[in-house]
Amino acid sequence: MSAKHKGKGPQALTANELREGFVVWLTKNFEWSLEFEHALLTEDVDMIEKMRVFGEAQENENIVVGVYFIDVDPDSGKPVRYREKFRVSGPTL
């Protein structure tokens, strides 16, 4: 799977943990966090490329599955897509 980003504006890298299955985001220390607030948000193309390489490697090393970039709204700092907002907030109940 390729994590190549096609989005606009700030990006975050997300995936699911392979073992637990929970949603994670990549942090600025290049670790996976269960909390979106720790996610690294960046528009820097070099950084995005580094994130991609790291993400794909982590997938190959069986740490995470389904790595991909998401668009983040620069004003709110929250994901743009509706579905991604729910991956951050979890179930309503």
Partner 1 sequence: MYRYDEFDHEVVQSRVKQFRNQVERRLKGALTEEQFRPLRLQNGLYLQLHAYMLRVAVPYGTLNSTQLRQLAMIADKYDRGYGHITTRQNMQFNWPELTDVPDILQDLADVQMHCFQTSGNCIRNVTSDPYAGAIADEVADPRPTAELLRQWSTMHPEFAFLPRKFKIAVVASPNDRAVIRAHDIGIEIKKNANGEIGYHILVGGGLGRTPVIGQTLQPFLAREGLLPYLEAVMRVYNRYGRRDNKYKARIKILVTETGIDEFRAQVDAEYETLTPSDIAVSQDEIDRISSYFTGPNYENLSDESEALKDQIKNDDDFSGWYETNIMPHKTPGYAIVNISLKPLDIAPGDITSGQMRAVSDLADQYSFGEIRTTHSQNIVLPHVKKDDLPALYQALKAEKLAVDNIGLISDIICCPGMDYCALATARSIPVSQAIAERFSDKTREKAIGEMQIKISGCINACGHHHVGHIGILGLEKAGVEFYQVKLGGDSSENTAVGDITGPGFSQDELVDGIERMVDFYLNNKKDNERFIDSYRRLGLGAFKEVLYADR
Which residues here bind partner 1, judged by CB under 8 A? 1, 16, 18-23, 59-62, 65-66, 80-83, 85-87, 90-93
Q: How far is the CB of 60 from partner 1 (least distance, A)?
A: 8
* For partner 1, the closer CB: 29 or 76: 76
Strand order in the sheet with 23-26: 32-33, 23-26, 11-17, 64-71
* For partner 1, the closer CB: 46 or 90: 90
* For partner 1, the closer CB: 53 or 66: 66
Q: How far is the CB of 62 from partner 1 (least distance, A)?
A: 5
Q: How far is the CB of 37 from partner 1 (least distance, A)?
A: 17
Could you tell me which of 40, 41, 32, 35 has the C-alpha nearest to residue 87?
Answer: 35
Could you tell me which of 40, 57, 52, 39 has the C-alpha nearest to residue 6?
Answer: 52
Strand 32-33 relative to strand 11-17, pairing: unpaired
